[in-house]
A and B are shown apart, each in its own frame.
Chain A
Amino acid sequence: MPEIVNIRGLQKKFGKFQALNDVTFTVNAGEVVGFIGPNGAGKSTTIRILLGIIKRDAGIAEIFGKDVWKESLEIHKRISYVPGDVTLWGSLTGGEIIDLFLKLHGRGNQQKRDYLIKRFELDPKKKAKGYSKGNRQKTGLIAALAADSDLYIFDEPTSGLDPLMESIFQEEVEKLKAAGKSILLSSHILSEVERLADRVAIIRQGEIVESGSLEELRHLTRSNVTLATEGDVAVMAALNGVYDFEQKDNQATFSVDHNQLNVILREASKLGVKKFESVPPTLEDLFMRHYEG
């Protein structure tokens, strides 16, 4: 599978502050990669380096196999970008700004523009200074989504949008995905990433601490189990690979290492299982595990 985005050992310092220490991940063709991490971890810095807005100190950063700093123009012909905080010229209308962005992009699609304006319920005749945060964000999104690109970079794209608009955005991203486009989606909203992303990369203090498909990541961690038995469920607490054990009457909830699942099931069956539920970890669980530990 050809790599659309290729980042290896990326480093960036601002003065004395080491913003990026060692960022490594890839986005393959036709793939949606979720890029998650808390504020200040280096998500936006990484994206700005990818866009050629700031220059890296060390490491490799390529899009379409081209260097993001030296060949930014070639790259920019085929990408679209939405920042997390879209700022607009107050004296221009939303419609004018979208047209301008599409023109400067070069591969804007007028029908898609009109369709998206309707879909996102944006008033294109209003001057941008009168727009709320959500409407500014919509303007940026429409301009990006209406352009025909091969890679879409979204930096917390839905901040300020209501849940309805958020889900419209997600539907539009799914359409792009179905059309074989690649997407780098940086987001706080983990449910959004969970719904859309094939793979995730988790960044913390300028380093990628985890990356892989959600399936793989889940495997590395524990599932949450609810178990009710006829016998005394308390004996389960002593088993290897059982954590956070809590008991109420003869029902217990605990988390369990996947490689211990077999042993635990065997022990549970000795007690006479009345109820067994296993829930795979949510992305939020994964995320929290990395940041609490």
Chain B
Amino acid sequence: MEEKFARWNTLFLIYLKRDWKKMIVWILGLGLFSSAYVPAFQEISKGKGLMGMYETLQNPAMIAMVGPTPVETAGEYTLGALYSHEMLLFCGLFAMVITVLHVVSHTRKEENLGLTEIVRSFQVGRQANSLATLVEVVFINILLALFISGVMISFEADTITVEGSILFGASIGMAGIIGAGIALVMSQLMPASSGATGAALGIIGLLYIIRAGTDISNVDLSMLNPMGWTYLTYPFTGNNWVPLMITLIFSVIMMAVAFALEGSRDMGAGYLHEREGRERAGKSLLSVQGLFIRLNKGVMISWLIAFIVMGAAYGSIYGDMQTFLESSEIVQQMLTHSGASIEESFTGTIMMVMIGLVSILPIVLVNKLFTEESHSHLNQLYATRVTRSRLYWTSIGLAVSTGLVGILLAAGSLGGTAISAMGDQSMMGMIDFLAAGFNFLPSVLFFTGMAALTLGWAPKWGKVVYIYLAYSFLLNYFGGILDLPEWFAKTAIQSWIPRLPLENFNTLVFVAITVISIALMIIGYLGYQRRDLVEGA
């Protein structure tokens, strides 16, 4: 034992010291996200709200996303039932993902970075680091569970019972612990830390998709799925503690397996070996475009898939639009406009929301050029025929094209699902959805232009563009409720653009914002051409 775990407690304390800020953000952030929406849900459930939500969430597409409820009639659907139905699966999923990232970063990643090597040269047990990490994440997830339960109880809301609140918090904490087990096992198997993270997240994604299927076809099968154990506790309705017991046993087994595996592997090596890569570069890599596409491939594909899923999720609501909107006054205020069909006004708002999210990807791609620059990856490229202009415009070009594809996928997937959900009653065709989406193209270009401007003149400020995006997004999202003065609302770029199909297309605005955005890109280029490149600093 001593040989294996000596001084794990010292490492544990060091981790607490190293991570306390991260822990606070983690527990407060995820904790409040999981628990603090109780008042908002109280608002939604007023009047016929609960019944409306019950109907909406019975839709198979919604079950696939948020999971099932044990409640069988709309009359028994309480605030507590709604809250755990809508929130628990996602909050558990987040807890799991964050724990996975944390566990891998303290185990395999530290090995890759060479830190473990130094630590092991002291009087520290071979597996002390894994034990310390594990104790730390269990500790964090227990705090998280307690915090969530405490906040929920403090609202003293009707049907948010004490037992239910504790179970709700515990389910999320246990979800995190499942994640720790999966991450630790993958850390032993995979050849490097990035592989371990990828495999663990992949397994979680797979479990999520499998449970979406079994939730719709036969909920009993979801009981075989570790992901199912988190939300099948049914807090506030069934209050079923059994899944948590199963989780506990499962986690102990996973951790035992992980420790056994770790005990007989070499530091820095996994049980699976790194696949051999290509000896020679493929043709598609041999250009600046090829390189940038390759470097951003993962990010681009995952965001584009996210856009499709998002479009499909919102699209599936169109079938029960009426019930959904009647459920709450706030929702009505946010989403409807007088003198138009609900579907049309919903499309106008939801498109603004989706294209706001689509704007993130181009900003990421433009900022990536600076990341590469500051990581010194481009050192040897600068000394070749590749011009700054080539690097810059390739990045911008890639950003703009993914913006276009993003809009196409988001709007197309929204339209496709919406039209099939509405069936014969559909008043809108695919072309209406696409038009509504591409109508927001200038805003995407504008954010790209801002990112380009900072890249050229003040690259360290690249993150500010995200803040402006978040700001204008929130301003538009809540603008309907808050009744803001015109000039204030107009500080968000999207406010200038009319909401299709509700309002008419405005050519002047479309062209003007596009021209301004292109101008920003050109000004950014002038700066990029001129400034000192940061290298390894």
Contacts and interface: CB of A to CB of B under 8 A. Distances in A.
Contacts of A85: 376, 536
Contacts of A82: 380
A224 B403 CA distance: 71
B25 interface: no
B532 A53 contact: yes
B385 A106 contact: yes
B382 A140 contact: no
A202 B134 CA distance: 54
B295 A93 contact: no
Contacts of B280: 95-96, 99, 124
Interface string A84-102: 0111111111011111110
B383 interface: yes
Interface footprint category on B: 35 or more
A105 B36 CA distance: 57
Q: Mostly helix, strand, loop or mixed at chain B's interface?
A: loop
Nearest to A83: B379
Nearest to B532: A54
Nearest to A96: B281
Contact of A126 (B112, B277, B383, B535): B277
B202 to A, nearest CB: 16
B278 A93 contact: yes
A104 interface: yes
A100 B192 CA distance: 24
A103 interface: yes
A194 to B, nearest CB: 26
Contacts of A104: 287-288, 381, 384-386
Contacts of B295: 89, 91
Contacts of A90: 194
B491 interface: no
A153 interface: yes
Contact of B382 (A52, A91, A92, A98): A52
B376 A103 contact: no
B286 interface: yes
A55 to B, nearest CB: 6
A9 B524 CA distance: 31
Contacts of A77: 385
Contacts of A95: 277-281
Contacts of A65: none
Interface residues of A, number: 45
Contacts of B535: 48, 53
Contacts of B383: 51, 76, 79-81, 153
B274 interface: yes
A195 interface: no
Contacts of A91: 294-295
A37 B241 CA distance: 70
A99 B287 CA distance: 10
B377 interface: yes
Interface string B506-537: 00000000000000000000000011110110
B276 interface: yes
Interface in A55-79: 55, 72-73, 76-77, 79
A290 interface: no
B530 A55 contact: yes
Contacts of B382: 51-53, 76, 81
B385 A93 contact: no
A5 to B, nearest CB: 14
A48 B533 CA distance: 9
A103 B286 contact: yes
B384 A106 contact: yes
Interface in B372-399: 375-377, 379-387
Nearest to A129: B192
B237 to A, nearest CB: 46
A144 interface: yes
B285 A99 contact: yes
B274 A130 contact: yes
Interface in B404-453: none
A125 interface: yes
A99 B380 contact: no
Contact of B387 (A73, A83, A129): A73
A130 B192 contact: yes
A144 B387 CA distance: 18
A258 interface: no
Given A125-B279, A127-B277, A87 B381 contact: no
A255 B294 CA distance: 61
A85 B536 CA distance: 9
B276 A125 contact: yes
B274 A96 contact: no
B390 to A, nearest CB: 9
A103 B281 CA distance: 10
B331 interface: no
Interface in A100-151: 100-101, 103-106, 124-127, 129-130, 140, 143-144
Query: Of B112, B288, B384, which is in contact with the most chain A CB atoms at under 10 Å from its CB?
Result: B384
B291 interface: yes
Interface of B: 112, 192, 194, 274, 276-282, 285-288, 291, 294-295, 375-377, 379-387, 530-533, 535-536
6 contacts: A52-B382, A54-B533, A55-B532, A92-B294, A104-B287, A104-B386
Given A77-B385, A104-B386, 19 more contacts: A48-B535, A72-B387, A73-B387, A76-B383, A83-B376, A85-B536, A91-B295, A93-B277, A93-B278, A95-B279, A96-B280, A99-B285, A100-B285, A104-B287, A104-B381, A125-B276, A126-B276, A129-B112, A153-B383
Q: Please give me the 5 A-B residue pairs with the lowest Cβ-Cβ distance, nearest first.
A: A93-B277, A99-B281, A81-B383, A54-B532, A96-B281
Interface of A: 48, 51-55, 72-73, 76-77, 79-83, 85-93, 95-101, 103-106, 124-127, 129-130, 140, 143-144, 153
